[in-house]
Structures are given as structure tokens and as C-alpha cells.
Amino acid sequence: MGLIDSIYARHSVRGYLEKEVPQDVMNRIFEIAQQAPSNCNVQPWKVYVASGELKDRLRRQMVEATAGGLTPNPDYPYRGDFQDEYRTRQVECAVALYSKMGIGRGDKEGRMRAVLRNFEFFDAPHIAFLGMNPAFGTTVAIDVGMFAQSLMLTLVAFGLHSCPMGTMRNYPDMVREAFQIEDGTKILFGISFGYEDPDVVANETRTTRDDI
């Protein structure tokens, strides 16, 4: 698949098959994504991939924390102050997704279930957590974002899909403990990835883009 096709084919997948990505394929994907640009080629991104038992443990911990009402303690707090056209796009995205999932406006139980799906990693066999050294300011996060885009497009080129998730920054201490991170790396977000499950209706969701 060419670059332009990959750009148009990429979409946030919220349901995956159990099939794991072969290790050699995964290594190649991350090797390609590593070619992403960064300021002065500092390559500030730190990437931690959980699969198998480690992924399952993190999933249980995060689901229990969220369902139990544990207050998130993100390294980079989420302001959530979308206004004007940005708020409109946010609402349109939520409506498109929830309508596919059969969740109505007043369905609090359904909405909570949708939230928990994030922390179940949408049943993906793999979850990547992206972070950076605490010495960097938030402007360096731009470089991490460029790596993430390269990663997601490369996944598409290999017949895989993904979903970038800001909610994965909610419990950074769990991530640092799971990967035994001792250098103070700050967690920015996560990306679930694997083989798309075509039977999950949420995967039919598509969003629009503004004209140039």
C-alpha cells in the first residue's frame, strides 16, 4: 500500500482480533517508524510495548482503577476546554461513535462501558505507551507526535490498524511500574494496535475533515 492510500485508510480501530503481530514484523514496523523527523534529530520518544501477560495485567489494573473511581494523575493534565468549532467537532465525533455502538444520550451505563473499553485497549493484542524524558518541555511532544503518525501509517502499510488514546496517560505510575521505568519518563499517550476485527460495529465509524 502506498503512502497516500495508507493516509486515507488509517482510522481509529476500537475492536481487534486476538491474533498477535509476529515479533519480526513488529520489529520491522518500529524500525521504519523510527525514521520520523525530530528537532536536531534528538529522537525524544520513549516507547514501551505491552503484550501477553504484561498487557493483561495493565488492562486489569486500569479497568479496576477507572471503574472504581480512582482519580487520574496524568503527567500532563488534560484541560478538555474545547470551544467553538473544536467543541463542535468533538461532539460530532462522539455522536458518530456512540450511534454505531447503540449508545443514547442518556445511557449512562452504556457511556461508562464505552469509557472502560479504552482501558481494555479495545481488546488489542498490543498496546504501546509513548513518553519522553522529563527534562523536555511540552513543545518536544511535537516530535513524539510525528513518531506516532509514522508508526500508525506504517502499521496500515503492514495490514494492521491502531487507535491513539489520550486516556492512556491517566495512570502513568502503573505504566512505569509495569515496565520498571526508573528514569522518570513522562507518559504522553498510548496506541493500541493489531489486526482489525471487521465484526465490531464501532470500527465502521468515520469522521470528516474540513476543506483546505
Question: pLDDT higher for 30 or 201?
Answer: 30
Residue 78 in this model has a pLDDT that exceeds 90: no
**Whole-structure pTM value:** 0.94
155-175: average pLDDT: 97
All structural domains of the chain with their residue ranges:
3-78+119-204
Query: What is the reported pLDDT for 13?
Result: 96
Q: What is the CATH number of domain 3-78+119-204?
A: 3.40.109.10
Residue 80 in this model has a pLDDT that exceeds 80: no
Asked if 191 contacts 179 with a C-beta cutoff of 8 angstroms, the reply is: no
Query: What is the reported pLDDT for 48?
Result: 99
Q: Residue 67 — pLDDT band, cuts 50, 70, 90?
A: very high
118-128: average pLDDT: 98
